[in-house]
Amino acid sequence: MDANTEGLLLLTNNGPLGLRMLHPDQHVEKTYLAEVNASLDWRAVVRFDQGIRFHDGTRCRPAQLQILETRIGYSLVKITISEGKFHQVKKMFLAVGAKVTSLKRLTFGPFKLDENLQLGQYRPLTPSELESLKQFLD
């Protein structure tokens, strides 16, 4: 996650776990809430569903795009990706003519953002979250 993104972040000192959760080849799903500076429609949903190709030729796996709100020059969307390439979400929107103006990670693998936490706050995993992580890794 880059400095211009907020939301769910998993901190660990377990190198293999971190690699397994972050490496694009592991296909760990991540869901984001994004605001973009363009009016997106069904065509963007189809392109994301087919897998976006970046300007450098790199192709992304298909992603789920849900348009929550749209008006002239603005869309609020939810996007789920199963990779984690460098600035992937921002590059995907650029490929359809939109710039991300706000990005918040809502889910990461088996974890959901704790909406009770304020920006900058953190907490340890609960026992049930640790169990979910064990099941996820099996």
* Domain containing residue 131: CATH number: 3.30.2350.10
Residue 76 forms beta bridges with which residues?
A: 35, 69
In a domain, 1, yes or no: no
Q: Outline where DSSP puts E strands in 1-122.
A: 6-7, 30-36, 64-71, 74-81, 100-108, 111-112
Among residues 2, 25, 56, 138, the one annotated as catalytic is: 2
118: CB partners within 8 A, 6+ apart: none
Tell me, what DSSP letter sits at residue 17?
H
Assess whether pLDDT exceeds 80 at residue 138: no
Residue 109 near residue 31 (C-beta atoms within 8 A): no
Query: Into how many domains does the chain fold?
Result: 1
In a domain, 94, yes or no: yes
Tell me, what DSSP letter sits at residue 5?
-
Instruction: Assign 38 to helix, strand or coil.
Output: coil
pLDDT at 1: 66
In a domain, 32, yes or no: yes
- Domain extent for 31: 6-137
Which carries the bigger pLDDT value, residue 4 or residue 112? 112
Residue 80 near residue 29 (C-beta atoms within 8 A): yes
pTM: 0.91
Q: What is the mean pLDDT of the chain?
A: 91
In a domain, 101, yes or no: yes
Would residue 41 show up in a list of annotated catalytic residues for this protein? no
